[in-house]
Amino acid sequence: MVVANLTISSVTLEKTSFAENDEGQFLLSPVTEVMKKQQQQQKKKKSSCCSKEKCKLVDYNSLPNFLKHNEFILNYYRSEWPMRDAVFSIFSIHNETINIWTHLIGFFVFLTITFGAVMMVPIGSSSVAFPDMSPAAANISKTLEFYNHEVLLHGLASSSPEANLTGVATDTGVAAQATARWPFYSYLFGAMFCLLMSSACHLLSCHSEHTSYVMLRLDYAGITTLIVTSFYPLVYYSFLCEPYFQYLYLSFITVFGVAAVLVSLVPVFETPEFRIVRAGLFACMALSGLVPIVHKMIAYGQQPEAVLTTGYEAAMGVFYGLGVIVYATRIPERWMPGKFDLAGHSHQLFHVLVIAGAYSHYLAGLVYLRWRDMEACY
């Protein structure tokens, strides 16, 4: 520490120099040696909470400004850890451990759901998916597979799979054609991207100011992707028979999402004073989903699937709404600073509420698929 504050106080004579430390003592040492020591000390200072063997956790007041996000969390911070230590801190206890794992587990849950959907939910035309069957037999088989999956996982069908199949056969003569899957898979991708970026952001942002800047942008991009892709199944399947509104709503939310990502690139966006603005921007994006939902209910309110999907969307709205409130107000840690440093602070609650909201929307997606597989445009 003493050598770090050395100031060169005299003109160099050949390779020798006088230097003064911060206690006013004069030292005589070769310039190269002084420079070398200064460099070593600066390097050491850069990762001051890390010794050769171990990095230490620090308190809020010891943090550089770019890591000061929540003054109600007082301890257990990682500060400017080397990248390797930051990566391996996924297996140690600090105030971001639960933030990392809640969304990492959420990511694996959605990955499993996606694999399950790919295996069980029919994709594309019958000739591709079921090459050895007649089109009608393939469609029946696909529908059965879809409903088995849906009933097994969620018990969503109001009657048995067989009864549904009979209904399809008698109502339409032939089982309905599977509708496009891309909006449903876009949503699953959006959810996985959001959860993975969030987890990585919480893991790595402690490394450096630059890393923190990049990771936070990826985190905001992930949240935006989740919100935008949440619109895709809602709008695509609800307005399958009204392409004008389909394109209108899909274009609107996509443009809004790109604008939100661009706004998040402005450095001031991540400052603590902008916490409310951040929450407000994402809340406005999500709230704009009310327009197609109300439109869906006016146009198709008599359809049980429209009502059921709106129910799931309302549940999602409640989860996300609570999440935004908790995120913006930093409850409960503001009531008892330091008591929720490791477990129970607002950001952890926010993460759990995001997963609950995303899962509700996935359930709505399954109902949309059932609706549009069973009922084509007329």
By beta-carbon proximity to Zn ion, the closer residue of 70 and 246 is 70
| 97 interacts with Zn ion by CB under 5 A | no
Query: Around Cβ 137, how many Cβ atoms within 10 Å?
Result: 13
| 164 interacts with Zn ion by CB under 5 A | no
Query: Around Cβ 121, how many Cβ atoms within 10 Å?
Result: 20
Positive/negative CA dihedral, 361, 363, 369, 374: negative
Point out which span in 115-123, 152-160, 196-204, 235-243 binds Zn ion (CB under 5 A): 196-204
Point out which span in 144-152, 174-182, 195-203, 221-229 binds Zn ion (CB under 5 A): 195-203
Determine the size of the site formed for Zn ion (CB under 5 A).
1
CB of 347 to Zn ion, least distance (A): 5
291 beta partners: none
For the segment 104-123, give every residue that binds Zn ion (CB under 5 A).
none
Tell me whether residue 351 is annotated as binding: yes
| 139 interacts with Zn ion by CB under 5 A | no
State both tokens at 136.
Answer: 């009608």
By beta-carbon proximity to Zn ion, the closer residue of 95 and 198 is 198
| 179 interacts with Zn ion by CB under 5 A | no
Tell me whether residue 347 is annotated as binding: yes
By beta-carbon proximity to Zn ion, the closer residue of 138 and 200 is 200
| 198 interacts with Zn ion by CB under 5 A | yes
Positive/negative CA dihedral, 219, 224, 230, 236: negative
Point out which span in 12-20, 112-120, 136-144, 193-201 binds Zn ion (CB under 5 A): 193-201
By beta-carbon proximity to Zn ion, the closer residue of 97 and 198 is 198
Residue with tokens 């450095």: 267
Tell me whether residue 361 is annotated as binding: no
By beta-carbon proximity to Zn ion, the closer residue of 198 and 224 is 198
By beta-carbon proximity to Zn ion, the closer residue of 280 and 311 is 280
CB of 4 to Zn ion, least distance (A): 35
CB of 201 to Zn ion, least distance (A): 7
CB of 348 to Zn ion, least distance (A): 9
Query: Binding residues for Zn ion, per CB under 5 A?
Result: 198
Annotated binding site for Zn(2+): 202, 347, 351
